Amino acid sequence: METSLVQEQYQTAESLFKGKSYEAQIVGHADVIDLLRAAHTMIGQAEQQIAVRDQRIAELEGLLTTDELTNLSNRRGFFEALEREVDRTNRGNGEGGLLIMIDLDHFKAINDTYGHLAGDAVLREVGFFLQKEIRHMDVAARLGGDEFVLLFPQANSQKARRRAEDMAMRFNTLSILWDGIEIYIKGSFGLKDYGPGEKIENILEAADRSLYENKRLRQRKEVGTAH
């Protein structure tokens, strides 16, 4: 009799939790306590299930926005972050920031000479370096191939540019050891400050122009050095 009463009260709690109406006869004070205990158990189980679900959703979202090779943000993750940042800036909530595009120099030659596994090792080294360079609010992403991008939000223009220039100098001292051979890593950088009122496409186009101007100057310097 007692067992069936508890089961009935548990069913009551479960039905109420699911938003259904349910009727059960409550005889005395002890029945109310049992019902509350059953409801408390149901709530605890539901909270645990919700926490597990939220964790799985977060893990899946992370997979969708993370580059598997470098563990940086991927193209999708970067553009989601850039849209949020431009929206924040355009609302006038603080200062703008700096966008930095990076393109590896002679990456095709590395792949052709040492193989694609060596190229992957170079990309991983770049990813590791960029992860060490960013603040918690910054974004480092691989757009694809040998193209990378950094987003420095809420950053003073002069300080951000000095930081980017210092980082570029350290970047161009990177190397990996592959089958006993040292492979040097070099990259060209394009910088674009942004502030309120700017559109994403304009920011990207300006950074891209800056990148290829830097690459052109570096190539000219290499030719001059070779002579």
Cα atoms found within 13 Å of the Cα of residue 68, Cβ hemisphere only: 3
- Please confirm, yes or no, whether 146 is among the known catalytic residues: yes
pTM above 0.85? no
More confident site: 199 or 220: 199
Q: How confident is the model at residue 26 (pLDDT cuts 50, 70, 90)?
A: low
Distance CA 132, CA 129 (A): 5
More confident site: 72 or 37: 72
Contact yes or no for 101/207 (Cβ under 8 A): yes
Contact yes or no for 153/85 (Cβ under 8 A): yes
Looking at 34, 105, 138, 146, which residue is catalytic? 146
The one-character DSSP state at 128 is: H
Count of helix runs (H) and strand runs (E) in the chain: 7, 6
Q: Does residue 124 surpass a pLDDT of 90?
A: yes
Q: Does residue 145 surpass a pLDDT of 70?
A: yes
In this structure, of 48-52, 139-143, 220-224, the range with the lowest mean pLDDT score is: 48-52
> Per-residue pLDDT averaged across 201-219, rounded?
95
Topology, domain 75-226:
Alpha-Beta Plaits (3.30.70)
CA 172 to chain centroid: 24
The one-character DSSP state at 92 is: T
How far CA 123 is from CA of 51, 75, 111, in Å, comes to 35, 15, 11
CA angle 104, 224, 186 (to 5 degrees): 15
pLDDT tens profile 69-108 = 999 999 999 999 999 999 999 887 668 999 999 999 999 9
pLDDT tens profile 155-199 = 888 999 999 999 999 999 999 999 999 999 999 999 999 999 899
Domain ranges (residues) in the chain: 2-64, 75-226
Contact yes or no for 111/118 (Cβ under 8 A): yes
Q: How confident is the model at residue 46 (pLDDT cuts 50, 70, 90)?
A: low
More confident site: 106 or 41: 106
